[in-house]
Amino acid sequence: MYTDKVMEIFSTPKNVGELKDANGIGNVGNASCGDIMKIFLRIENNIIQDVSFLTFGCAAAIASSSAATEIIKGMTVENALKVTNKQVVEALGGLPQQKIHCSVLVEQAIKAAIADYKTRL
35 binds ligand FES (CB under 6 A): yes
Looking at the DSSP bridge assignments, the partners of residue 66 are: none
Q: Does residue 58 have an active-site annotation?
A: no
102 binds ligand FES (CB under 6 A): yes
First-residue to last-residue Cα distance in the chain: 43
Up-side HSE of residue 44: CA atoms within 13 Å toward CB? 6
Helices then strands, counting H and E runs in the chain, come out as: 5, 3
19 binds ligand FES (CB under 6 A): no
Residues 55-94 that bind ligand FES (CB under 6 A): 57-58, 60-61
Question: What does the binding site for ligand FES look like in residue numbers (CB under 6 A)?
Answer: 30, 33, 35, 57-58, 60-61, 99, 101-102, 105
- Indicate which residues carry an active-site annotation: 33, 102
